[in-house]
Structure 1
């Protein structure tokens, strides 16, 4: 009469215990093949994707969680190709079950029964929180000093010329421009000037460029003393 050997029975018992723990742990966890296809996911991981564990099977983990930097993924792929067995982390973002974009870190640990075997990936997700939407421009998107600097830049002034005309040092001008670049998420001075017109900081259709709060040459002429 055939039967399962004691060693085989022990293996089944421990496998069942591991699966029970896998399902009950609150941390989002999945097991993927070396190419990133989900083989097994626990309910916590499925909940982050707004679905059930069974529906995640076969999905590419990088389709579910978008990497912030593609180079991170390329380095991991190369390391796995060379059979390196380090722990790998990828910064990711994804649409949460409530529709709000979330961000966090995926940690991937290669695991296999033997050193020479092709590893699977034990993937754990660390949720850092919801990604805040970009801040809306304030009612006063630029101070009078910043608006004056932008008007001079729009007219083609160099940093040195702006410093002379505003009474600031060149470093002071650069400081104001850096603050504006951060506030408006502008990549360069050309984009700063364009944003200034779009936000109403500079008056459109006048030359030389002027801040919206400053009187233009036309205003001076139109209100001259008779």
Structure 2
């Protein structure tokens, strides 16, 4: 009987100590400026600090039980299979995943989530310890395509001549295809060369691609716009 009482007392004492240390840990996490959360393997949030909740303008309790992927969007689809394989092989490694999310006030943000697999024993299915690092600035969007230079404008006939020249057709062959004399073909080629300030036919074709007059990644060459 005394042994049972001692065991019960010991269990109660252990539980009380565990509660104390849990509360201390929570208070410590709340003072950490890095957004941190702990999720079950399935993604359900079981712990979050104030910094993580503040990202979404919420209280910590309002994050509990929510799915982490309801809040963040993975930018790299390979992350989930890697985590699943790590759990299967009982690894306890850390992984970085690029994420984006809508923060408080509707602000779109991007950053990196460090995911650490943690558990008390190697046999247990791990929880996911998440820490978030926000990019200081979002990657700049690609600059808009510059409008074509005024000298890039060509007539339908000139576009067809340039396409034929890009195929390596001779002047006589170009004339036959388009219905011009060789002098007529040479006239257009010379006119384009002066307008684009190039010395020969090779440079003329290169400039036609640079100006978007000829369709990219198409063979045989053809005008970018149907003529």
The TM-score normalised by the length of structure 2 is 0.62
The offset of 1:124, in angstroms, is 0.4
Using the alignment, how far apart are the partners of 1:95 and 1:78 within structure 2? 29
Question: Is residue 141 of structure 1 aligned with residue 147 of structure 2?
Answer: yes
The offset of 1:51, in angstroms, is 2.0
Over residues 121-151 of structure 1, what are the superposed CA-to-partner deviations in whole Å (9 max), with x where a residue is unaligned? Answer: 110011014536746637x523457667xx9
Using the alignment, how far apart are the partners of 1:56 and 1:10 within structure 2? 26
Structure 2: where are the runs of 5+ without partners?
A: 169-197, 218-223
Question: Is residue 84 of structure 1 aligned with residue 84 of structure 2?
Answer: no
Q: RMSD between aligned alpha carbons?
A: 3.9
**Any conservation in 2 of the 1:89–1:108 contact (CA below 8 Å)?**
yes
DSSP-derived class of the 1:123 partner = strand
Question: Is residue 46 of structure 1 aligned with residue 53 of structure 2?
Answer: yes
Matched length: 181
Over residues 159-190 of structure 1, what are the superposed CA-to-partner deviations in whole Å (9 max), with x where a residue is unaligned? Answer: 666x96472585x777x48xx8xxxxxxx938
Larger radius of gyration: 2
**Any conservation in 2 of the 1:101–1:130 contact (CA below 8 Å)?**
no
DSSP-derived class of the 1:27 partner = coil
Structure 1 residues 10 and 57: alpha-carbon distance in aligned structure 2, compared to 1, 3 A threshold: closer
The offset of 1:32, in angstroms, is 0.2
1:29: which partner in 2?
A: 36
The TM-score normalised by the length of structure 1 is 0.63
Question: Is residue 167 of structure 1 aligned with residue 174 of structure 2?
Answer: no
Over residues 42-82 of structure 1, what are the superposed CA-to-partner deviations in whole Å (9 max), with x where a residue is unaligned? Answer: 11111112322212112221221101121122221222232
